Every structure is written in structure tokens, then in C-alpha cells.
Amino acid sequence: MARPDKAAAVAELTEQFRNSSAAVLTEYRGLTVAQLKTLRRSLGENAQYAVVKNTLTKIAANEAGITTLDDLFNGPTAVAFVTGDPVESAKGLRDFAKDNPNLVIKGGVLEGKALSADEIKKLADLESREVLLSKLAGAFKAKQSQAASVFQALPSKLVRTVDALRAKQAEQGGAE
């Protein structure tokens, strides 16, 4: 039977996997405690970075229904559990890895779908959710403005046409 402390650790990790919209596995070999502290800050408020035991984390991931990460649990492993915007955390990991080559992004999972290390880097290249939403709102507003201009142009064009027709009739009436 499993020791109670290990069972509690598995239960806690399982809950973190279930409550996270994304999880990114990294290898942190060669990083100092100060560097890990800096990394945790760079991930943002909606991410938790935890050094984990491979066997317990693999069991927890499987209990949470995530079996696609099994091959990544080797060597010293840490997991970034993301509850907020995954793009922000992916950017934090990518930027930290550029400055500290000892951090290796192994892969991860986003809303139940497996991500390779390259896909996580592509995710980091995306703009944040807020920026994308504001661009979408701007596009909608622009389309509404264009539609309003078209609808406003129709009556004014009609008025100009009627005025031109009256002027032409007045010329023809005056010429007779």
C-alpha cells in the first residue's frame, strides 16, 4: 500500500492537473534556486511552477486523464500549471529559456491536447487573449462604421439625384 504522504502528493498533483487549462513540463537541471525564483515570477500570476517527482506526477496525470505526457517524465522535471492565459506563461518560459539555456521545455498539454516543445514556442508567439479580443472588437467596430457610411450615403445620393433632376427639369422648362 502507498504511503500516506505519497498518496496526498498524488492527490494534490491530480487536482492541479484537473484545475489547470495548461501544463508545461520542463527540465531545470543546472538552474540555481535564485533562477527558479525568477522563473516563477516571469510566468505570471496565473501559473504555478513546481519541481515534481516523475513517478508521482505520471500517476497524477494519468488519474487526471492525461496520458500523452508519459514519455516526458524523465530526468529532473518541473511543471508549470497554468490556470489563466496560457500564452502569457508560454512567453515567460520561452523568454526565460532564451536567457537561461539550462531550462529545457519538454512539452505539455493544453486543454487536454498534447503539445510538443515547438508548439509551446509557437503558442508563445501568439498575442495575449486580451489583445486578440480587442483586435476582434476593433474589426467589428470598423465594419459597423463602414455599414453606417453606406446606409448614410444612400439617402444623400437620392437627394442629390432628385436635386439634379429638378434642376434639369427647371432648365428644360425655362428653355421652352
Q: Which grid cell sits at 139? A: 474589426
Cβ-contact 154, 127 below 8 angstroms: no
> How large is the average pLDDT for residues 64-81?
86
Residue 145 has pLDDT above 50, yes or no: yes
Is the confidence at residue 175, as pLDDT, over 60?
no
* Nearest alpha carbon to residue 83 among 128, 19, 25: 19
Instruction: State the Rg of the chain over Cα.
Output: 29
pTM: 0.66
- Structure confidence by residue, pLDDT tens digits, 17-65: 888 888 899 998 888 899 888 888 888 788 888 888 888 888 888 888 8
Task: State phi, psi for 172 to the nearest 5 degrees.
Answer: -70, -35
Residue 1: predicted pLDDT: 42
Cα torsion for 131, 135, 141, 145, to the nearest 10°? Answer: 140
